Amino acid sequence: MKKLLYISLIILGAVAQTKGQAVLGKKVPNFTSMDQDGEKWSLRSNLKKADYLVIYFYPAAFTGGCTAQACSYRDQKGELARVGASVAGVSGDSPETLKLFALEHSLNFTMLADESGEIAEIFGVPHSEGGTIQREIDGTNRDLTRGTTIQRWTFILNKNGELIYKDSEVDAAGDSNRVLEYLSSLQ
C-alpha cells in the first residue's frame, strides 16, 4: 500500500510540475507582458506575425553575455526573417530598463519584462531573486533593478503556438546562430 501511495505521489507531482507549462510538441499557454515601449504584448496576437517566434530568456540587461546575445539577434534579424522568424527577448528587468537597453544597443526586436518570473514559469525556466547593477548610460550613472534573475534558455514556437525547440544550455554569443541553423533545417 505504501508503495502504491508513493508512486501515486510521484505521478501527481510530475503532473503538477508540467501543468500550465510549455511542453515540446504542445501549445504554449497564452501570456501577456509589457514590452520595452511600455505597450502590452500578448503571445497569441504575436504568433501570426511570422512563421516562427523565437523566445529567449536571459538573466539581466546591460551585462556581458546578455548584451552579446541581444546584439547577435539584432545583427541576424534579416537572416532570421528570411527563415520566417521573429524574436522576443525576456528578462526580469523593468520595461524602463529594457527601453534603455534597446536604445543603447540599437536592438531591433521586442524585449519583454518578466519582473515576477511568471513567463519563465510557463516555460519551466529556473529563476531566482532579482538584483541591482549600476551602469553608466548616456553619461549618467543608473541603478538598474530587476525583479527576478532568469536563466538563459531559448525556445521556438510555430505559428500555431506549439513549442518546437527548446535549448536549456545556451551559449550567449552563439544562440542566434544555433537558432538560425535549426530554422534553416526546416526549410
Phi-psi region of 161 (alpha: psi -120 to 50; beta: other; left: phi over 0): left
Q: At what angle do helices 64-75 and 175-185 cross, to 10 degrees?
A: 40
Residue 71 annotated among the catalytic residues of the structure: no
Q: Using CA atoms, how far apart are residues 30 and 20, in angstroms rounded to an integer?
A: 10
Please provide the size of the chain in residues.
187
Strand residue runs (E) in the chain: 32-35, 40-42, 52-57, 85-91, 110-113, 127-137, 140-150, 153-158, 163-167
Hunting for cell 525556466 — which residue is that?
Answer: 125
Check 66, 88, 111, 172 and give the catalytic one.
66
Question: Rg of the chain's alpha carbons, rounded to an integer?
Answer: 17
Catalytic residue annotation: 66
